[in-house]
Structure 1
Amino acid sequence: LGQTTVSFAAFDPHAPPQYIEQWSLSVEKSLGPETTLELGYLGSHGLHLQRSHLINNAAPGPGAIGPRRPFTTLSFLPGVVLPAGITVVNTTFPVSGINLLENSAQSWYDAGYANVRRRFSRGWTLLANYTFAKSLSDAPDFRSPMFESAIPQNNRDLSLEKGPACDIRHRFALSAVYDLPALRESGFIGAITRDWHLSAVFQAQSGFPLTISVFGDTANAGTLLGENPVRANYTGQPIFNSGTRTSDRWFNPAAFSTPAAFTFGSVGRNTVYGPGMQTLDLALQREFSVTEKMRFQFRAEFFNALNHTNLGTPNRFVNTPQFGTITEAATPGREVQLGARLSF
């Protein structure tokens, strides 16, 4: 130690505890002897949440980053004892990036929902839910699989990081089970068509937000390996127009541009939304007795039964040839799985 430039992550030893405030309100009404309707609201506010803060980044500008950092060197505190076998050439050493994990972020969530529940009666049951929600935070989601950098663009003004978080604005889900009626009450046809159960799960939701960014540290302010925190500029043209929302052109590429060298971009965090998703899964099964102590079950499952193509996330880097295109699917195509089980 003492000769090589180091970078490291650190925790704030005096960080306040993280906590989330939650509140909710709901009303229920019976729509008959088997069916219930519930309308509700759910809100939450997260405080002192952890964020990644690069406190030693330089201001945007030309030239080497190192001399422009707030801290160019660090020193061991007097009396620090290091593990045996570590050679210390100098107690003061050059430093580059410092990723301080501090508890200074917030989150906000508001959602209205409607649930319809039908208990099993007369051969079928159903559960349906629709949620309209909005989720915000003022820190990149570095602990979730969002389509953005895990670090802020401008570490000197963290307030500019406020924007949509893992924001699924609309979501609908329905599950149902139906006992199929036998074609005949008796005989061979009745024997092979009775006791079949059909279940279905349908899900549909709007797309995840993404951040239109620049590939590389064009601001020349410092970053972490694999992160691209600099955002694009908004040109004022429509983001969605005729011919968009396709795999070849999900949004209008002319709506964004690469910011000038050594500057930050004007686009906000997670301000463009990607494709939505919908899937229908079906299962058909029958279980019957072979002997007094032996039962046999057959099951056929159809995942993405309609073979619907759910587009993946568009390329979000404005300075790449693939910008705005979608090159992969978010979910696989139709899959059929057959199964049998003998219980004794």
Structure 2
Amino acid sequence: MQAKLERHYTNGLSFLSSYTWSHNLDDSREPLPSNGDGSFYWSYNVLGARPDYGNSPFDTAQRFVFTGTYALPFGEGRKYVSKKGMANILVGGWDSIILFRTQTGNGITVNPNTSTVNGAGAHAIRIGNPFAGGGAAPDNNPIVCPTKVRNRANWYNPCAFENPPQASVITAPVTGAANFLKYLGDAREQLHGPGYQRIDMTFTKNFKTYESQYLQFRGDIFNLFNTPTWGAPSNGGISAQGGQITGTNFLGNFTPDARFFQLALKYYF
């Protein structure tokens, strides 16, 4: 679902904003980038794909984008410095664009910190609110509970999860999917990681050359305020360091997280 609002104002000022709500679910691996799906239960023939149905690792529930464009009132054909000359060449014809984007985080899988049945992959079992600090650690996971969450030390509260039963408790063959699942824990992608916020800015200036042709200078500033975008927790377990974030979000090859500039010249004809 997407909603869009656009408004044009006088004197060269306009705004465009959009809001998107979505929810992605699947039951198998996919070719898109992910933060780690963990193990998949369909590898056990007795279960099939149904227990794997849940949040996709690229699930982004909400996204908001705001764009503001302002044609500075200087230069030929504008309110000030409207005559040709050196002043027009230096300060005239500039346009500015600001882009603000924010979105919720992607799904992440929380894993246990104990061995599982015959080396099988398993997920931690959610028993409380992972985004509330404090609490008491479960008996099968005696750790210190962090008082604060949603930070780099503990994005989530590892005390909100417990380990699935260990293999040592099995004394007879296990049959049936319902009996089998409790040894493998919850479904993958039990919660979402940090979101994404970014402000970019662009400046452009056109130089008329011949008839309708012109040369455009463009300057882009990515991550204007040089604020980091934290990645998914590097420790996705339920130890005392569960939810620890040690790096920034990967935004693509040749796209650093830190502020950077890009300059370009284009000729339009």
TM-score (normalised: structure 2): 0.70
Aligned with 2:61 (options 169, 176, 182):
169
User: Which one-letter code corresponds to 1:220 in the other structure?
Assistant: N
User: Which one-letter code corresponds to 1:304 in the other structure?
Assistant: N
CA gap of 1:239–1:151, structure 2 versus 1, over 3 A, is closer
User: Which one-letter code corresponds to 1:189 in the other structure?
Assistant: A
1:212/1:267 contact within 8 Å kept: no
Counterpart CA distance in 2 for 1:197 and 1:279 is 20
User: Which one-letter code corresponds to 1:248 in the other structure?
Assistant: A
Aligned with 1:323 (options 242, 255, 258):
242
Counterpart CA distance in 1 for 2:197 and 2:203 is 20
2:5 corresponds in structure 1 to: 116
Counterpart mapping for 1:245-324 below 5 A: 245-262=150-167, 264-289=183-208, 295-318=214-237, 322-324=241-243
Aligned with 1:220 (options 108, 118, 121):
118
1:142/1:149 contact within 8 Å kept: no
User: Which one-letter code corresponds to 2:54 in the other structure?
Assistant: G
Aligned with 1:206 (options 104, 107, 114):
104
User: Which one-letter code corresponds to 1:130 in the other structure?
Assistant: Y
User: Which one-letter code corresponds to 2:33 in the other structure?
Assistant: P
Aligned pairs, how many? 225
Secondary structure, counterpart of 2:231 in structure 1: coil
| Superposed CA RMSD | 3.1
2:258 corresponds in structure 1 to: 333
Where structure 2 has 5 or more consecutive residues not aligned to the other structure, the ranges are: 75-79, 134-147, 168-181, 252-256
Where structure 1 has 5 or more consecutive residues not aligned to the other structure, the ranges are: 1-110, 223-228
Structure 1 or 2: more strand by fraction? 1
2:158/2:242 contact within 8 Å kept: yes
CA gap of 1:343–1:176, structure 2 versus 1, over 3 A, is same
1:181 corresponds in structure 2 to: 73
2:123 corresponds in structure 1 to: 231
Counterpart mapping for 1:39-118 below 5 A: 111=1, 113-118=2-7
Q: Which has the higher contact order (CA 8 A, sep 6+)?
A: 2
Counterpart mapping for 1:119-198 below 5 A: 122-137=11-26, 139-149=27-37, 152-153=40-41, 155=44, 156-157=46-47, 158-165=49-56, 166-182=58-74, 183-186=80-83, 188-198=86-96
Secondary structure, counterpart of 1:134 in structure 2: coil
User: Which one-letter code corresponds to 1:162 in the other structure?
Assistant: Y
Instruction: Indicate yes or no: 2:132 matched with 1:241.
Output: yes
Counterpart CA distance in 1 for 2:203 and 2:117 is 57
Counterpart CA distance in 2 for 1:133 and 1:149 is 19
Structure 1 or 2: more helix by fraction? 2
TM-score (normalised: structure 1): 0.57
CA gap of 1:289–1:249, structure 2 versus 1, over 3 A, is same
The more displaced of 255-264 and 172-181 is: 255-264
2:115/2:166 contact within 8 Å kept: no
Report percent identity of matched pairs: 25
CA gap of 1:152–1:296, structure 2 versus 1, over 3 A, is same
Q: CA deviation at 1:135?
A: 2.5
Secondary structure, counterpart of 2:32 in structure 1: coil
CA gap of 1:152–1:197, structure 2 versus 1, over 3 A, is same
